[in-house]
């Protein structure tokens, strides 16, 4: 049994407005991209970018729902749907989504964060109709194939994923501590996207169906197609496959129940885990996604702590030899972003030395 060791976690308020007040100038691209951007009558946003040099096509569907849209007691629903959407739909049997794409020489995946859930496929351009049809069928007909057994199976998959990422991973619980220290309970950033075990266990068929019917609709989705396709033919195909779906209003977003109050200048949380060396994290609130400051911070965090050639890694790992790992990350979110700087100590180095 490994002995518990200290993990020091620092949380500080973001005080970067003055430092980022400058407005840098950016040169425009030398050539404009050939993009078709429009909406279907039912509200589906469509973006087409043809590239005749490509023999493949990528289909990307972005649903504007993430964990920030979940209410207390129903966390993890957005991520749960990332799993359910691959389990079959009205005309696609369980397991056939992957099999059909792989047989066509393609691949697919999906991801979820605070702000959105996205799904994407890459296929040879001749199989673009297949990828579009699969996306249309699960948008319109997911619930036709849903059963309590499918829900229970994927709920268990998600719970196991949480165990791997948090409960059973060294330092895994620190991420949850940071989220709940930076943001007040009830705020869209307070819970982890993967949800809690209690909320996942309590999720009923009725709860999950209500979430799907609220957020999985054409007016809440963006379809992007990039590749070596014919624009006119693809527009006609998109209209045929998606245009028949009824128009619904854009979902009303839940009101924030917890206002964000200023943080103290700084404070420290210490916790223990079954690890052999301490890890130190410095986490800060940062400006919301799509702001100029968020772009600047994304670049700064990359320069500071992305990879072994970054300044942070070279200083702490190579030069001072205090750490075996050092990194910085920037998580841009619509309700407020997060900048994290972290390092794992070398054996014999204390958390205080690393700070």
Tens-digit pLDDT profile for residues 100-127? 999 999 999 999 999 999 999 999 999 9
Residue 247 belongs to some domain of the structure: no
Report the phi/psi class of residue 16: left, alpha or beta, with left for phi > 0 and alpha for psi in -120 to 50.
alpha
Looking at the fold, whether 93 and 217 belong to one and the same domain comes out as: yes
Looking at the fold, whether 344 and 318 belong to one and the same domain comes out as: yes
Q: How many domains does the chain have?
A: 2
Residue 31 belongs to some domain of the structure: no
pLDDT at 253: 80
pLDDT tens-digit series, residues 191-200: 899 999 999 9
pLDDT at 271: 81
Radius of gyration of the chain (CA): 23
344: its two tokens = 């794992």
Q: Count the neighbouring beta carbons within 10 Å of the beta carbon of residue 150.
A: 16
Looking at the fold, whether 142 and 194 belong to one and the same domain comes out as: yes
Looking at the fold, whether 272 and 229 belong to one and the same domain comes out as: no
Residue 253 belongs to some domain of the structure: no
Q: Indicate the residue among 208, 242, 276 that finishes a domain.
A: 242
Looking at the fold, whether 164 and 114 belong to one and the same domain comes out as: yes
Residue 248 belongs to some domain of the structure: no
Looking at the fold, whether 19 and 40 belong to one and the same domain comes out as: no
Residue 304 belongs to some domain of the structure: yes
Domain range for 106 is 36-242
CATH number at residue 307: 3.30.830.10
pLDDT at 254: 72
Residue 108 belongs to some domain of the structure: yes
Looking at the fold, whether 139 and 203 belong to one and the same domain comes out as: yes
The three-state DSSP-derived secondary structure of the chain is CCCCEEEEEEEECCCCCCCCCCCCCCCCCCCCCCCEEEECCCCCEEEEEECCCCCEEEEEEEECCCHHHCCCCCCCHHHHHHHHCCCCECCECCCHHHHHHHHCCCEEEEEECCCCEEEEEEEEHHHHHHHHHHHHHHHHHHHHCCCHHHHHHHHHHHHHHHHHHHHCCCCHHHHHHHHHHHCCCCCCCCCCCCCCHHHHHHCCHHHHHHHHHHHCCHHHEEEEEEECCCHHHHHHHHHHHHCCCCCCCCCCCCCCCCCCCCCCCEEEEEEEECCCCCEEEEEEEECCCCCHHHHHHHHHHHHHHCCCCCHHHHHHHHHCCCEEEEEEEEECCCCCEEEEEEEEECCCCCHHHHC
Looking at the fold, whether 188 and 270 belong to one and the same domain comes out as: no
Looking at the fold, whether 170 and 64 belong to one and the same domain comes out as: yes
Looking at the fold, whether 20 and 160 belong to one and the same domain comes out as: no
Looking at the fold, whether 227 and 155 belong to one and the same domain comes out as: yes
Residue 249 belongs to some domain of the structure: no
Q: Are 70 and 187 in contact (CB under 8 A)?
A: no
pLDDT at 257: 54
Residue 40 belongs to some domain of the structure: yes
Looking at the fold, whether 91 and 186 belong to one and the same domain comes out as: yes
pLDDT at 272: 81
pLDDT at 21: 41
pLDDT below 70 — which residues of the chain?
1-32, 255-259, 264-265
pLDDT at 284: 92
Share of the chain above pLDDT 70, in %: 89
């Amino acid at each position: 049994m490994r002995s518990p060791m200290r993990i020091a976690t620092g949380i500080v308020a973001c005080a970067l407005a003055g430092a980022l007040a400058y407005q840098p100038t950016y040169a425009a691209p030398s050539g404009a991209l050939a993009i078709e951007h429009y909406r279907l009558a039912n509200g589906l946003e469509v973006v087409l970018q043809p590239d005749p040099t490509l023999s493949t096509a990528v289909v990307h569907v972005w649903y504007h729902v993430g964990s920030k849209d979940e209410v207390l007691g129903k966390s993890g629903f957005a991520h749960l749907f990332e799993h359910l959407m691959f389990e079959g739909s009205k005309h696609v049997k369980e397991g056939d989504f992957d099999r059909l794409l792989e047989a066509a020489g393609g691949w697919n995946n999906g991801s979820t964060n605070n702000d959105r859930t996205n799904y994407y496929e890459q296929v040879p351009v001749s199989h673009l109709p297949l990828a579009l049809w699969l996306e249309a069928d699960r948008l319109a007909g997911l619930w036709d194939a849903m059963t309590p057994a499918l829900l229970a199976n994927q709920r268990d998959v998600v719970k196991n994923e949480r165990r791997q990422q948090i409960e059973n991973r060294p330092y895994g619980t620190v991420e949850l501590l940071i989220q709940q220290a930076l943001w007040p309970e009830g705020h869209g950033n307070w819970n982890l996207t993967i949800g809690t075990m209690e909320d996942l266990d309590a999720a009923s068929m009725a709860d999950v169906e209500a979430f799907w019917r609220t957020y999985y609709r054409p007016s809440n989705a963006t379809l992007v197609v990039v590749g070596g396709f014919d624009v006119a033919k693809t527009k006609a195909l998109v209209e045929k496959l998606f245009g028949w779906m009824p128009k619904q209003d854009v979902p009303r977003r839940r009101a924030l129940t917890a206002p964000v109050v200023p943080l103290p200048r700084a404070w420290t949380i210490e916790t223990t885990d079954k690890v052999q060396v301490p890890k130190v994290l410095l986490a800060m609130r940062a400006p919301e996604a799509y702001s100029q400051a968020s772009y600047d911070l994304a670049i700064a965090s990359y320069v500071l702590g992305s990879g072994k050639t970054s300044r942070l890694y070279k200083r702490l790992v190579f030069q001072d030899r205090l750490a075996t790992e050092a990194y910085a990350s920037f998580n841009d979110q619509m309700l407020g972003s997060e900048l994290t700087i972290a390092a794992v100590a070398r054996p014999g180095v204390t958390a205080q030395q690393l700070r």
